[in-house]
A and B are shown apart, each in its own frame.
Chain A
Amino acid sequence: NAGVMQNPRHLVRRRGQEARLRCSPMKGHSHVYWYRQLPEEGLKFMVYLQKENIIDESGMPKERFSAEFPKEGPSILRIQQVVRGDSAAYFCASSPLALGTSGTASYEQYFGPGTRLTVT
């Protein structure tokens, strides 16, 4: 069973260009999460999606950032008009349908290898 796949692994964009980051979840996983890791910091939650639905986008910047998880194909994190402050590692994670209530098995998030975005 292949793990979470992200591409590209490295992406260089000039200021003002668009960045598209792709994430293919593990087989059978219908939940996708995006996190951003700035240099020397921990991961910060951005958005949580299920197929064709954005469930929680409380961590997404209000402008220039969008995410989708279509019925077919990978999840896409899109950053328009990139600025130097967008330079970071972007991680995608996936999980199966949540089972978690107290006393039952919780689920885990499985992370991809990340995409390192550099804005020049």
Chain B
Amino acid sequence: AQTVTQSQPEMSVQEAETVTLSCTYDTSESDYYLFWYKQPPSRQMILVIRQEAYKQQNATENRFSVNFQKAAKSFSLKISDSQLGDAAMYFCAYRSEGAQKLVFGQGTRLTINP
């Protein structure tokens, strides 16, 4: 079974600085998708960014980018120019090609210091 590990329970960063959240996963498959979700205090799950494993280019969405290392099974999220509104729990998630369910990591709580 696939597993997703987020080794940083908590992270903090100064406003306007850059922070990187780590995620590793374990799979024997070659085709899959990886996601980062944000969960603010409202608990609404918000998709931040998605990466297809067959794509070598790292995904980017405005201030959010990923460093996808397929051989190392690593999928980190970089947040540039951190804003107070970025404070939330961040979850890394995996989905197999052809499967429907998401497998989530334990989450990283991100605090933004003004």
A-side interface residues toward B, CB under 8 Å?
A: 31, 33, 35, 40-45, 48, 55-56, 58-59, 89, 91, 93, 95, 98, 100-103, 106, 108-111, 113-114, 116
Contacts and interface: CB of A to CB of B under 8 A. Distances in A.
B42 interface: yes
Contacts of A116: 43
Interface string B29-60: 00101000100001111110010101000000
Interface residues of B, number: 24
Contact of A91 (B4, B33, B45): B45
Given A45-B102, A59-B101, A91-B45, A106 B54 contact: no
- Nearest 7 A-B pairs (CB), nearest first? A42-B104, A111-B45, A45-B101, A43-B104, A48-B100, A42-B106, A114-B43
A33 B52 CA distance: 21
A102 B30 CA distance: 10
A45 B98 contact: no
B17 interface: no
17 contacts: A33-B100, A35-B102, A40-B107, A42-B106, A44-B104, A45-B102, A48-B100, A56-B101, A59-B101, A93-B45, A93-B102, A100-B98, A101-B97, A106-B50, A108-B47, A111-B37, A114-B43
B91 interface: yes
Given A106-B50, A114-B44, 20 more contacts: A33-B102, A35-B102, A41-B106, A41-B107, A42-B4, A42-B91, A42-B104, A43-B45, A45-B102, A48-B100, A56-B100, A56-B101, A93-B45, A98-B100, A102-B54, A103-B54, A106-B52, A111-B37, A111-B45, A111-B46
